[in-house]
Amino acid sequence: MSKRLACVALVAVAALLAAGCGGSSDSASSDTTPTEQWADGLCSSITTWTSSLTSIVDTLKGGNLSKDSLTTAVDDAKSATETFTTSLSDLGKPDTEAGQEAKDSVDQLVTDIQTDMTEIQDAVDGASGIAGVLAAVPTISSTLSKAGEQVSSTLTGFQDLDAKGEIESAFKSSSSCQALTSGS
């Protein structure tokens, strides 16, 4: 039962992450602005991370939950998260009036996600036997949910600092953001 809870939580986080970015646009342009490139990088990083988490969930669903399988899953999630946070850090700032504030928001998200992964790693490292593994599942589930909320909150926060609508427009024009929202 707890195994299913963990899997459901991981799937819910993946869906939450996928739903958090962008919108759709009827116009397609072959010329992308630097801000659209930034949004594209952000959304493609989210897509890649979400895909990795979904794959990890599928692996957990496919077998018996044990400390080894949980450790492997957390190691895989940690690796995917390191790639994700590095990609976010490498984005820089969008070319907008609120670019620095957007970068600061993304940098805070990177810090928050890294802290979340440390919490998950500590829960798994502290697990002993099947009872310990089962006890770690709620911590992992709630921490992953929190990570999804942090991503969603960061994306929503862009609206508050984007008075001219430049970032929102970039999300709507970005092919990765369009693919992300259409795939959810």
pLDDT tens figures, 86-106: 999 999 999 898 999 999 999
Q: Read off the amino acid at residue 9.
A: A
| Helix ranges restricted to H, 26-182 | 34-61, 67-90, 99-125, 129-161, 166-173, 175-182
| Per-residue pLDDT, 59 | 76
**What type of residue sits at position 124?**
V
pTM of the model: 0.77
Mean pLDDT across the chain: 79
* Averaged pLDDT, 4-16: 41
